[in-house]
Amino acid sequence: MVLHAYLDALAPGLLSVEAYHEDDALVVVVTDEGTGMVPRPDSPGLGMGLPLIARLAHRLEVSSHIPTGTRLQMTFATSK
């Protein structure tokens, strides 16, 4: 997110991370106020971040609101 959120900005903007325990899960929420998620053919990455998170998390919710940022909510099960 940090690499992509503020691509054309003169300086990086805010990034917030919140983590809390809910029921039998750890919930991590990462938000930015960047340009939102848009396709980037010039992306320097392999595009593995979100697929990896989706595979490891019990649930992944992505909200992108162009141009007001992106919110990722990842839920990881903590019980057996």
Q: Is residue 5 a contact partner of residue 71, using CB atoms and an 8 Å limit?
A: no
Provide the whole-model pTM: 0.80
DSSP code, position 7: T
Q: Give backbone dihedrals phi and psi of 34, rounded to 5 degrees, phi first.
A: -85, -155
Quote the domain boundaries for residue 55.
2-77
Q: Where are the beta strands (DSSP E) in 15-68?
A: 15-22, 25-32, 59-65
Query: What is residue 2's predicted lDDT score, i.e. its pLDDT?
Result: 61
Beta bridge partners of 15: 32
| Count of structural domains within the chain | 1
CATH number for position 53: 3.30.565.10
**Which tens digit of pLDDT belongs to each residue from 5-32?**
777 778 778 899 999 999 999 999 999 9
